[in-house]
Amino acid sequence: MALPDNLPRDGERILELAARSMFQLFSSASEGMFLVDRGGRIVWLNDGYKRFLPALGFSSVDQFLGHRVEDVVPNTQMRRVLETGKPILVDLLTNRAGTFVVSRIPLRDDASGEVIGAIGIVLFDHPETTLQPLIQKFAHLQRELDDARRELASQRRTKYTLASFVGASPAAAEVKRQARRAAATASPVLLLGETGTGKELLAHAIHAASPRASRPFVSINIAAVPDTLLEAEFFGVAPGAYTGADRKGRDGKFKLADGGTLFLDEIGDMPPSLQPKLLRALQEGEIEPLGSNKVVPFDARVIAATSRDLGALVREGRFREDLYYRLNVLPLRVPPLRERRADIPALVEVLAEDMALRNGTPPPELSADALALLQAQGWRGNIRELRNVLEQAAMRSDSPHLGAGELEAVLRESGVERVEPPPAAPASAAALRPLAEQVAEVERQAIQAALSATGGNKLAAARLLGISRAKLYERLEALAGNRAVSVSRTGSVVRFPDTGRCG
């Protein structure tokens, strides 16, 4: 211990006595104590420590002395104290001898100040008994921390799968098919569609079906965050970046989504000032937190969604063209409800069950005329609007059975675009023909329209129909076999003998 030059002789003596007294006090009052030299070899231990030797595999003190401490005391941190010169005042040590509360203190040379050794002190050898209140409090805090982490993890997981996108109509089936294809890639996805069509649900579903399903799903609604806060929400904030900022800093959505998926809802509402920074982040795979000059790499798959016409925004100069092309790699159009009216009965059933679970009431049951009325509406708000109408009608009715009358009242008051259900058309003579003939007629009309639109170019017509050129030739030949068409593989014109028209 270095002593001040101007210390009185009595003061010197008191310090020396204090140092010896403290060493003797720790040696006698602790459960065990030992010393190591600067090389980490054990040079001394007190009587209290001797009782731990059998559990450590030694029968005598002489066998124990001279060994490197990490070789004979498993899990010790004494080497770290020797290398850093910093004490570890309170720590838990567990090894073959038991669990202990320990302290480790470096010893320094008076003249040079260099570390010449260290003291290891066993404060308690049965912490589960002597420190029971403290351990119980620590365990309680640990459980609360674990619960909070699990809750946060559950919030970062997806809520929906592709099965949650209700519907079996051709339009719904096509959306699911495209979503499955998108899930298998890591490219950005752009979900396009009117409000209330289920774009966020599809974003969850694509993530759930992707290889990143076990990693976080983080979403941000750009329209719901003030422009001044968006950059911090996206990229995070460095510690002390501005007055009032958290001293520990804060991670942004890109960092939170690292390894998983980042869903950018209402991307069409992004302010122009932030669009270049988002483009750079997507191109470089790195972000720069607000108030920091260091870049942070990230790995997040981006899914964006908008109910606005991005192409029109690009032409108007309100959305960057290069950012549009960066996001529009895998566009997926979500059809409005009026384009898949056949799915409305199934949607009504699912929505009714969900309403019953939330409200603790029986699910509403709709009559056939009520369903027909719903299927006839324009639904500008799509599924969200359909749910609102159902909830209003259910709340107003004293019975779980809803007819067209109850729904008409809600539709009239809510301003929904109301359309009368079309009357049932009588079966025409054409509808009574064999199904194969009707299918052939539809195919012929579709092929004729495609060839007419492409000037007889079969490759372009095949692409327009969504089939290969070989498949187009195959269908033409099949129709020709049914005496519907005659085909020339070399010519660009297909003639339909029964009509005399060309396509």
* pLDDT reported for residue 135: 62
Per-position DSSP letters for 237-254, written without gaps between them: B-TT-STT--TT-B--HH
Q: Which residues contact 136 (CB under 8 A, 6 or more apart)?
A: none
What is residue 421's DSSP assignment?
A: P
* pLDDT reported for residue 130: 61
- All residue ranges of the chain with pLDDT < 50 are 1, 420-422, 424-425, 483-503
* pLDDT reported for residue 275: 94
H helix count then E strand count, the chain = 22, 16
- Given the DSSP bridges, would you call strands 261-265 and 217-221 parallel, antiparallel or unpaired? parallel
pLDDT digits over 435-450, tens only?
667 777 777 877 887 7
pLDDT digits over 222-257, tens only?
999 998 889 989 998 887 666 555 567 788 899 999
* pLDDT reported for residue 469: 80
* pLDDT reported for residue 274: 93
pLDDT digits over 362-419, tens only?
889 999 999 999 998 889 999 999 999 999 999 988 888 899 888 988 888 876 555 5
| Tokens matching residue 288 | 């720069």
Report how far residue 31's alpha carbon sits from residue 300's, in angstroms, rounded to the nearest whole number. 53
